[in-house]
Amino acid sequence: MWRPPPCRHVNIDAGAGAEMSEPAFRLVDDERDGPRVPIFETLAVSKSFPSVRALSGVDFRLFPGEIHALMGQNGAGKSTLINLLTGVCAPDQGEVRLGGQAVHFCSPQDADAAGIRTLYQEINLCPNLSVAENIFIGRQPMHGGSRGGPINWAEMRRRATEVLAGLNLSLDVRKTLDCFPIAVQQMIAIARATCVEARVLILDEPTSSLDEDEVARLFVVLRQLKQRGMAILFVTHFLEQVYAISDRITVLRNGERVGEYWAKDLSAEQLIEKMVGHNRLGETLTRTVDTKFSMPVVPDSPQNNTVAQPPPLVSLEGVARRGMMQALDLEIKAGEILGLAGLLGSGRTETAQLLFGVERADAGSIVVGGTSRRFRSPRDAIREGIAYCPEDRKREGIVAELSIRENIILALQAKRGWLRKIGRRQQQHIAEIYIARLGIKAADIEQPIGLLSGGNQQKALLGRWLATGPTLLILDEPTRGIDVAAKFEIMLEIRELCAKGLGMLFISSEISEVTRISHRVAVLKDRRKIAELSAALANEDAVYKLIAGVTE
């Protein structure tokens, strides 16, 4: 069990004014490290989980008075590293040092006691309690001091007001938390995290629920904390925010540290290159023509036929929802695959949810077959011939304890209504058709679908929607977490369906997958569409360049 070294952090605080000035920071560079020591570091930490090596030999340094961005793709090891730093799990090898001393946190509480505060994407506060209570819960000032006694409410309110004033916030601390917008709640969470002996602040995607103004406010606060000597670790998927706020960047890839860079020395393009890896270029070059979807099957490819285009199957016109998606225009034609490419948090799934009526758009309209519609529920979208294979197969897709047969006919039955039951024999017939056609491997169609492998579940869900005879199919991460063979089969099936005239919106976090299969690729970034590429131009490089904001 780690115990805080006496007074060490006090020194940092006391010296904040002088030491935090810009010149002192130059010392962070490797060759000019000088007397400055990182407050929090990992030395060659490794961590493995039963099926995967999440981190191998990662060095990471966090200095007082800096904002440090931790970057990497999904699965690069960011979360694992943060979990090691915050005591959620312990490293297999290597050590974690705080203020130069090795520490062994057994739990997040240990880390918290050592002055390491973590803020997660969701705000872990109690909306029903007052602001003051939220800030001081668990360490309320008592009338009897440390010996207990009744809570000293006046003192608590006074100190809460004081802490918030330190963050440039003036609000009535007696009001309940849910009276305030998310950004202010986030600020209150920071106040709670920093009001007592905090030395390190870890922010895990704190901005994903904030809009631009709110982010700006948050950043003002973060800069203040930095001025006071706090070491801040910041994880986000928004590249612009990384450059707006951070001093240094550590990039992880496949569980290894790619490097540590000054933010001002690393361009966005370089950063993405480091995150994605160099072999991506080779991969792109070796991509052969035959893997690219053959274009001629598209009857109305924009290049060939600019004169008389058929109306699009579905088009989104300025569809937006506050805090979710900025005004978005998209068109999908029959027999066309429109790919959505973007980093996590760029609005890929949100687009699908707005199009399918899972979330209601608060602006814009969805035009289906020439008529403008408003989808208030998936039901409305299904009626217009739209189908949606959701991203989270387990939570949103399968009904685990029902049989394969029941899962396959569920959407069709829902579309027909409860009175027109599909007979048992017909149900079997439909299920068998899709099991055969999609090559679902199952011992028995009466087997609960939850027992199937991920790939077979995905195929069954595909079958569920195909059974409804859709005109537009939205596929959100259809190949996530399934084995290579199943992935290949699903991709083949998608192409075949498309050749038969089905329109498709294809979403995947693997940008190469999107560019390979799509006729057009819409590139999303920070919840808006930034570009659209035709198949000829769409390759992984081009997409990454667009995301990085590089124009040629």
Partner 1 sequence: MSVIKQILARGSSNTLIWPILTLLALCLLNLGFNPHFLAVRVLDHHLFGSPIDILNRAVPLILVGLGMTLVIATRGIDISVGAVVAISAAMAAALLGGSQAFAGGWSVGAAIAAALGVGLVCGLWNGVLVAMVGMQPIIATLILMVAGRGVAQLLTAGQVIPISNPAYLFVGGGYWLGIPVSLYVAVVVVAATALLLEGTALGLFIRAIGVNPVATRLVGLRANAIVFWVYGFSGFTAGLAGVLISSNLRSADGNNAGLLLELDAILAVTLGGTSLLGGRFNLAGTVLGALIIQTLTYTTYSIGVPPEATLVVKAVVVLIVSVIQSPTARQWLLARLRPHAAPARAPL
* Binding piece for partner 1, criterion CB under 8 A, among 85-93, 269-277, 329-337, 408-416: 408-416
* Binding piece for partner 1, criterion CB under 8 A, among 238-246, 335-343, 375-383, 524-532: 375-383
Closer by beta carbon to partner 1, 276 or else 474: 474
Residue 55 sits at the vertex; the CA angle it makes with 209 and 515, to the nearest 5 degrees, is: 60
Structure tokens at 430: 């439909």
Q: How many CB atoms lie within 10 A of CB 339?
A: 27
Select from 179, 344, 400, 436 the one that contacts partner 1 (CB under 8 A): 400
CA–CA distance, 374 with 318 (Å, rounded to integer): 13
501: left (phi over 0), alpha (psi -120 to 50) or beta: left
- Minimum CB distance to partner 1, residue 392 (Å): 9
Select from 72, 378, 470, 503 the one that contacts partner 1 (CB under 8 A): 378
**Binding positions for partner 1, 412-431, rule CB under 8 A:** 413-422
Select from 398, 440, 507, 523 the one that contacts partner 1 (CB under 8 A): 398
Select from 411, 430, 507, 543 the one that contacts partner 1 (CB under 8 A): 411
CA–CA distance, 363 with 354 (Å, rounded to integer): 11
Question: Cβ neighbours of residue 154 under 8 Å, at least 6 residues apart?
Answer: none
CA–CA distance, 210 with 218 (Å, rounded to integer): 9
To the nearest 10 degrees (0 to 180), the angle between helices 279-286 and 540-548 is: 140
Closer by beta carbon to partner 1, 26 or else 416: 416
- Minimum CB distance to partner 1, residue 535 (Å): 30
Q: Say whether residue 410 binds partner 1 (CB under 8 A).
A: yes
DSSP state of 5: P
**Binding positions for partner 1, 215-254, rule CB under 8 A:** none
Select from 397, 455, 478, 503 the one that contacts partner 1 (CB under 8 A): 397
Q: Say whether residue 401 binds partner 1 (CB under 8 A).
A: yes
CA–CA distance, 89 with 81 (Å, rounded to integer): 9
- Minimum CB distance to partner 1, residue 104 (Å): 36
320 bridge partner residues: 363
Q: Check: CB of residue 339 under 8 Å from CB of residue 521.
A: yes
Select from 248, 464, 516, 545 the one that contacts partner 1 (CB under 8 A): 464
Closer by beta carbon to partner 1, 194 or else 468: 468
- Minimum CB distance to partner 1, residue 418 (Å): 5
CA–CA distance, 100 with 433 (Å, rounded to integer): 65
251 bridge partner residues: 71, 259
Half-sphere exposure of 29 (CA within 13 A, CB side): 10
Closer by beta carbon to partner 1, 129 or else 451: 451
Residue 109, amino acid:
Q
To the nearest 10 degrees (0 to 180), the angle between helices 454-466 and 404-416 is: 30
- Minimum CB distance to partner 1, residue 390 (Å): 6
Select from 238, 293, 388, 544 the one that contacts partner 1 (CB under 8 A): 388
Q: Say whether residue 390 binds partner 1 (CB under 8 A).
A: yes
* Binding piece for partner 1, criterion CB under 8 A, among 241-249, 311-319, 403-411, 534-542: 403-411
* Binding piece for partner 1, criterion CB under 8 A, among 177-185, 191-199, 265-273, 411-419: 411-419
- For 63-172, strand residue ranges (E) read 67-71, 93-98, 101-103, 116-119
CA–CA distance, 363 with 322 (Å, rounded to integer): 9
- Minimum CB distance to partner 1, residue 349 (Å): 13
Q: Which of 528, 532, 530 is nearest to 321 (CA)?
A: 528
Select from 214, 406, 493, 540 the one that contacts partner 1 (CB under 8 A): 406
Closer by beta carbon to partner 1, 352 or else 542: 352
Q: Check: CB of residue 430 under 8 Å from CB of residue 460.
A: no
Number of residues lying near partner 1 (CB under 8 A): 34
CA–CA distance, 385 with 411 (Å, rounded to integer): 12
Closer by beta carbon to partner 1, 105 or else 388: 388
CA–CA distance, 388 with 395 (Å, rounded to integer): 14
- Minimum CB distance to partner 1, residue 375 (Å): 11
List strands edge to edge, sheet with 363-368: 325-332, 314-321, 363-368, 371-373
Q: Say whether residue 395 binds partner 1 (CB under 8 A).
A: yes
* Binding piece for partner 1, criterion CB under 8 A, among 197-205, 258-266, 322-330, 383-391: 383-391
Q: Say whether residue 376 binds partner 1 (CB under 8 A).
A: no
CA–CA distance, 303 with 165 (Å, rounded to integer): 60
* Binding piece for partner 1, criterion CB under 8 A, among 43-51, 317-325, 342-350, 382-390: 382-390
- Minimum CB distance to partner 1, residue 391 (Å): 11
Interaction site with partner 1 (CB under 8 A):
356, 358, 377-379, 381-383, 388, 390, 395-402, 406, 410-411, 413-422, 448, 451, 464
